[in-house]
Amino acid sequence: MEGEWEARLEAWRAELDLLARATGTTWVPLAEAERQAGVSRSALRSWYRGGEISSRLVDGPHGPQRLVPLEAVLDRAERSARIRRRAEREISLEAQVAMLRGQVDRLEIRLAALEARGRAG
C-alpha cells in the first residue's frame, strides 16, 4: 500500500515537472505558493478568482489540487504594499533582535566586571 502511494506521488510530481517544461512556468500547489511568497491562502484565492494570476485544477495524490504559477505569485506579492510592509517589519524585527542581543551582551560584560570588583573589594 505504501509503495503504491509513493508511486502515485512520484507520478504526480513527474506530471508537474512535465507541465513546467511544456509551459515554461513552474506550477505549484497553493501551500507551496503560500510558503515561498509569504502570502495567505485567502490572498491567493482572491488573486486567481479575480484574474490577477492563473490557476489550474488538476488531479493530485489527494484528489483535485489547485496549482498556481509560482513566478506570477511572486510578482503579484511583490506589488502588494501590505505584503511588502509585513516583510519590512520582519526584517526590522530581525534588526531589533540583533541590536537587543548586542545590548544584552554588553550588559552581561558590565555585570561580570561589577561582580568581579565586588569580590575583590
The predicted-structure confidence for 18-39, as pLDDT tens digits, reads as follows 776 777 788 889 999 998 888 8
Question: Mind listing the pLDDT tens digit for each residue in 72-83?
Answer: 998 898 887 777
State the cell numbers at 121.
573589594
pTM above 0.75, yes or no: no
- The amino acid occupying position 29 is P
Cβ(14)–Cβ(58) under 8 Å?
Answer: no
Name the band, by pLDDT with cuts 50, 70 and 90, for residue 113: confident
